[in-house]
């Protein structure tokens, strides 16, 4: 039994190593958004991606990587006001974009889809309120 399992384990180990670094570090390809459906808040929106099947690419929620805006459902009135402003800012930028791209797609610690978002070839993050950026913190 050991004579069979040991070589089999070795083959499986080598097969896993044969996958290039691109496969392990970038499991999802970059995509273009086909339709912007709804801006949920200042760091999340819903869209369709026709490149994917209906089960994976219709009405999907995308969270912008690198920013965390105030919550619309906060008990704090000032925070809710700020949240509404950030939602409007994101909405204006996305609705005025000709092309919305999702790059470096992954999952965050809550298993939500998150991505670096580009509009018309430029990163979206620098166009948002720097106060809420999370990179480098």
Sequence spans of domains, the chain: 27-132
- Summarised one tens digit per residue, pLDDT across range 56-80 is 899 999 999 999 999 999 999 999 9
Instruction: Answer for the pair 36, 45: CB distance below 8 angstroms, yes or no.
Output: yes
Neighbours of 66 (CB within 10 A): 19
Which of 89, 42, 40, 86 has its CA nearest to residue 61?
40
Q: Above 60 in pLDDT, residue 2?
A: no
Question: pLDDT at position 16, please?
Answer: 53
Q: What pLDDT shows up at residue 88?
A: 98
- Summarised one tens digit per residue, pLDDT across range 18-49 is 444 444 456 789 999 999 999 999 999 999 99
27-132 folds as OB fold (Dihydrolipoamide Acetyltransferase, E2P) (2.40.50)
Q: Which residues contact 102 (CB under 8 A, 6 or more apart)?
A: 30, 31, 32, 33, 49, 62, 115, 116, 117, 118
Check whether 114 has a pLDDT greater than 80: yes
Entry pTM: 0.78
């Amino acid at each position: 039994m050991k004579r069979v399992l040991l070589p089999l384990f070795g083959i499986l180990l080598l097969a896993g190593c044969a996958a290039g670094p691109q496969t392990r570090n970038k499991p999802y390809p970059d995509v273009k958004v086909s339709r912007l459906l709804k801006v949920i808040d200042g760091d999340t929106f819903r869209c369709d991606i026709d490149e994917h099947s209906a089960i994976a690419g219709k009405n999907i929620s995308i969270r912008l990587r690198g920013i965390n805006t105030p919550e619309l459902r906060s008990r704090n009135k000032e925070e809710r006001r700020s949240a509404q402003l950030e939602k409007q800012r994101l909405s204006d930028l996305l609705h005025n974009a000709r092309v919305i791209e999702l790059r470096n797609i992954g999952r965050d610690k809550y298993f939500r889809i998150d991505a670096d978002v580009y509009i018309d070839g430029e990163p979206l993050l620098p166009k948002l309120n720097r106060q809420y950026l999370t990179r480098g913190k």
